[in-house]
Structure 1
């Protein structure tokens, strides 16, 4: 199946796995519904989110996870700040192994291979190449039940076809309700970033999963999302902003610096501070999201001055995710 946006692909997948499961099973004791060998494509990978309000898409975590990968870090403290439940996957309380894709991208194996730069070289040397494969799953990972953090993603493959960058992801397993939401966001974000570094347009994205499943703990939420989706149709309320058509690496470094300082609490930012940054507006919006999140984490409120500077799409997503905080804002206005 080919869909225009991830929104459509996500809802279709939820319905297929929930209503037409191929198997009922309970890996590691967790009851689930499962479909094997599942594939779909997305015409416009930039449209990488679900718009159903009841799904409460966490746009801040989505950007944080993609940037965590791009930072090359496996440190728990980075991603734990945005999703505290990630700590349960860490064996030593400090790092993550299977879940942390960054080291696989930029320092793979004993040779610490920078796969990101290598596949760029492959595609520049031979634009028609079928060798631009980025490995994530490591055969040395412990597969026994003692290890809760095994890489779900086998790898990502890039193709230049008719002047556009196509990408295929290959996953051994994907949680349709939870994991797919953040995985497709991160993978298509990487696809778009690679396209800007190669100076070409973004082509289609293909999602290939050996085992796509929904756990019993998410059955009620799945039914709610599918029910509410019928009321909003398939057209996104606002388009997702495209990444600047340039080499974004210098802007990304600024984002990394400010993300770390906001996360560690060494700075606070006002809208004027972000406006003054010498980076594209696209990346200023990402820093704004992290600044909004700092106010949520530290003060348990939404900083209204920062929130008002977000583009309408991000405002909508933040309000959907942290709906209870906005009653406080309305009382203060």
Structure 2
């Protein structure tokens, strides 16, 4: 009998865990000075891992960061320069001001270890191509030596990802040592399900279920008011926004990720400016045009700091991403007389 709660999208799981941690908390902790309500040993399953974004006006999810972090992982990077541009708060977790450590999950997953010729991810893909029912497709991330330095500012929250090929689908089980339910959970599920779908594409499979287990699931006291607003919104909204997240193209390879990130870097450094037509003619699949549109919109917000955003770029976004951008940055909400909201 399945005992892990099932949800069709991350939004349902997020709301259920917020309620559990705020209404039925088991403990109140103050790890490293962060006071929080905590529950131990919880999890959920997503039946459709592509539904990886919540649509809650009070939460104001940032889809620019979501894509940036997922691509940063998929490229196997650990540089602070890129990810710190989208999330300046992550700079505090760097020991040297240049790289991130434990939280650079992609570097652990997609870069060969010392003396190895393949990354752990590539080894698991090769394993599953040759042994379809294998139980060995586990990708460990947390390492015991991360605890040897008591002052380590960046210990991995992700213990590991388990890829399981069953009945023609690629399932993933994620094990977290800890998850901030209001902040980290949403970013983690977005990125990890992107990794799952990317792996499925490399294997020529459909993504199956995504299962997420957490050792310490917590809500920080400093976020309690926002969490209350989110739960109140979920209880009172007359309709629930619903947008289908598109399917990753079967043509996606490591070269695709590198090409998208080339455009990201040029935009982040404000070396180029793209129109909607320019992006449509880059030679990228429509799916991968979407993050480039987001990065250009963020370039306009971060560098141009104009009072208006190019409406053609907003119109080029998938409806769900447009909905999120309008709520995260009001400048991206265009009024009814010329606009897309």
Distance in 2, Cα, partners of 1:245 & 1:291: 25
Q: Is the 8 A contact 2:75 2:254 kept in 1?
A: no
Q: Deviations over 1:264-297 (max 9, x none)?
A: 2221111111111222100011111111111111
Aligned to 1:243: 248
- Kindly report which structure 2 residues correspond to 1:278-297, keeping only aligned pairs within 5 A, or say none: 278-297=283-302
C-alpha contact (below 8 Å) 1:52/1:232 kept by paired residues: no
Contact 2:74/2:257 (CA < 8 Å) preserved in 1?
no
Residues 1:305 and 2:312 are matched in the alignment:
yes
- Which string of whole-angstrom CA distances, capped at 9 and with x for unpartnered residues, describes residues 136-183 of structure 1? 112221455412210000110000111000000011100000000100
2-structure distance, mates of 1:195, 1:254: 20
Runs of 4+ residues deviating >4 angstroms: 233-236, 329-333
- SS of the residue corresponding to residue 15 of structure 1 reads helix
Pair 1:272-2:251 in alignment: no
Counterparts of 2:237 and 2:188 in 1: how far apart (Å)?
Answer: 24
> Within the alignment, does 1:314 sit opposite 2:314 as a pair?
no
SS of the residue corresponding to residue 220 of structure 1 reads: helix
1:141 aligns with 2:114: no
Question: Does the alignment pair 1:256 with 2:274?
Answer: no
> Counterpart in 1 of 2:107?
103
Q: Is the 8 A contact 1:199 1:246 kept in 2?
A: no
Structure 1 residue 195: deviation in Å? 0.6
SS of residue paired to 1:31: strand
**Aligned partners of 1:108, 1:29: CA distance in 2, in Å?**
36
Q: Offset of 1:108 from its aligned partner?
A: 5.0
Unaligned runs of 5+ in 1: none
- The alpha carbon displacement at 1:56 in A equals 0.3
Which deviations, in whole Å up to 9, do the C-alpha atoms of 1:26-80 show, x marking residues without a partner?
Answer: 1112111111111111100100011111100111100000001111111101101
> Are positions 1:76 and 2:83 aligned together?
no
Question: Aligned-pair distance for 1:305?
Answer: 2.8
Q: Please list every run of 5 or more consecutive structure 2 residues that lacks an aligned counterpart in the other structure.
A: none
In structure 1, distance between residues paired with 2:161 and 2:266: 31
Corresponding position of 1:90 = 94
- TM-score if structure 1 supplies the norm length? 0.95
SS at match of 1:210: strand
Structure 2 vs 1, CA of residues 217 and 246 (structure 1 numbering), >3 Å: closer, same or farther?
A: same
Q: Hey, what's the Cα distance between the residues in 2 that align with 1:25 and 1:145? A: 19
* CA–CA separation in structure 2 for the residues paired with 1:211 and 1:233: 33
Question: Does 121-130 or 307-316 show the bigger shift?
Answer: 307-316
Alpha-carbon contact 1:153-1:170 (below 8 Å) kept:
yes
Shift in CA distance, 331/85, structure 1 to aligned 2, threshold 3 Å = farther
- Shift in Å at residue 326 of structure 1? 4.5
TM-score w.r.t. length of structure 2: 0.92
Mapped partners of 2:264, 2:66: distance in 1: 14
Backbone CA RMSD of aligned residues: 1.8
Q: 1:234 to 1:96 in 2, by over 3 A?
A: farther
Q: Write the distance in 2 (CA, Å) between the matches of 1:141 and 1:36.
A: 22
Match for residue 183 of structure 1 among 180, 184, 188 = 188
1:257: how far off? 1.1
Is residue 28–residue 145 contact of structure 1 (8 Å, CA) maintained in 2? no
Instruction: Tell me the alpha carbon deviations over residues 201-259 of structure 1, each in whole angstroms, 9 at most, x when there is no partner.
Output: 11000001111101100110111100101234785421111212334444323211101
